Amino acid sequence: RARELSHDGVLFPWRTINGHESSAYYAAGTAQYHIDADISYALMKYVYATGDTDFLLREGIHILVGTARFFMSLGFFSASGDRFEIHSVTGPDEYTTVVNNNLYTNVMAQFTLRAASEVLRQMATDRPDAFGDLVARAALSQDEVALWAHAAEVMYIPFNERMQVNPQDDQFMNRQLWNLDDPETGPKRPLLLYYHPLTIYRYQILKQADVVLALFLRGSIFPEEVKRRDYLYYDRLTTGDSSLSAVVQSIMAAELGDGDKAMDFFRRGLLLDLTDLHGNTTDGVHIASCGGVWSSLVYGFGGFRDDGGRFSIDPRLPDGWEKLQFHLSLLGYVVAVTVTDGEVTLQIIDGGEGLVGPLRVCGQEIEVGTTPVTVTGQTVMSR
C-alpha cells in the first residue's frame, strides 16, 4: 500500500475488510496517515505494560522500522534542516481534511521516529547478533537511523503565539468560526447529514477530539497551562458527531479538574448505545466507544498514565462517588487499584509473589506487592 502511494516503508489500511484499504472517501480515510503512528504507539504501550522485549525485537521492530521509513518519506526537512514537516494529511478530526502539519499526526509521528531509533540503539547494544541480522535484511544504516532521531527532534509542533494554543494544523486558525446554525431551530447534527463536506471544511468545527486526543496520548510534552487553553479552545468547537470523542474529552476534563464536564462527557460515552444517543444503535454497538468508557474510568477518573514505561496514578474521583476500583495488568502481574476519598490502595492479586514499580501514586514513589499498600492524597475533584 505504501508503494501504491509512492512512499517507503509500510502503510496500514485505515479501514479494511480483507487486509486492503477499504476507505470509501480518501480525504477522510486513506489520508489519515496517523494510523501508522497509532499502531506503533500501541505496540510500544504493549511492550511497556508487559516487558515483552522478545516480541519487540523479533516481530515488533519490523513495524517500527516500516512506519519510521514511511513517515520519513511522507514528511520533509526544511532547507536549513532544523524543521521536519508533514503535509497533505487528515488528522483524527474528519471535518478538517488534507491539511499541512496536523498537530496530532506530527506528535504521533515524532513518537514513532523516536521509538524506532531508540529501540534500534538498544538492540545494537543488547543483542548485537540480532541487530546485525536486521541491518542486513532491512538494508539499514546508522545514518538512516540517526536521521529518524533528528526528524523526531526537530518535528514541527504548531503553536499560535498570539492565541497561546496549539492550532490543529497550519491553516486552522485562518478559517471562520461556524455560524450556520439556525437560531430558531437550533444546531443540525450530525453536520454531514445537512451540509456538503466542502462547506464543513471551510470552518473551525470538529467532528471529534483531535488536538485534545494528542494532549491525552502525548500529554507529557505539553505544559499544563497549554493543555488547559487547548482544551477550552477546542471544547466549544467540537460537535461530538463522532462516537469516539466524548470519552477522550472526559479524560482531559478530568485531568484538568473540570468535574462537571468530565461527568457530562463520561455519561455521553456510557449511554451512547444504552439510550441510543446517536439514533443508530440498531446498526450495531459502538465497540470503540465501549473501550473508551473503560479508558475514561481508568485514565480519566482513575488518573492512570504510562509515559514511556513510567507508570503513575493521580486520581480525580467525581464528587459524590464513594469508590472507584479497577485492575491493571503490568509486567505479568494484575494490580487492583481502589480509589476512595483521600486514599489509593494498590495490591497484586494475580501473578505470584513479586513487586511492581516504582509507581508514582499521588506524587509518591511506591512499589506494589501482594500486601496492600495505601497512599494518602487529594483524590476527589471539586465541582
Distance from C-alpha of 328 to C-alpha of 334, rounded to nearest angstrom: 6
State the catalytic residue, choosing from 4, 85, 94, 353. 94
Pairing of strands 84-85, 76-77: antiparallel
Q: Which three cell numbers stand for residue 31?
A: 489520508
- Of the candidates 292, 307, 203, the one whose C-alpha atom is nearest the C-alpha of residue 252 is 292
Element spanning 347, H or E: strand 343-350
- Of the candidates 246, 208, 211, 241, the one whose C-alpha atom is nearest the C-alpha of residue 227 is 211
Q: What is the dihedral of CA 289, 291, 292, 294, to 10 degrees?
A: 140
Cα Rg of the chain, angstroms: 22
Output the CA–CA distances (angstroms, integers) from residue 88 to 19, 68, 160, 311, 371, in the order listed. 24, 18, 20, 35, 53
Q: Is residue 330 helix, strand or coil?
A: strand
365 is catalytic: no
Output the CA–CA distances (angstroms, integers) from residue 145 to 109, 119, 138, 142, in the order listed. 15, 10, 12, 5
- 10 Å CB burial of residue 234 (0-12, 13-18, 19+) is buried
Pairing of strands 310-313, 356-361: parallel
Residues classed as catalytic: 94
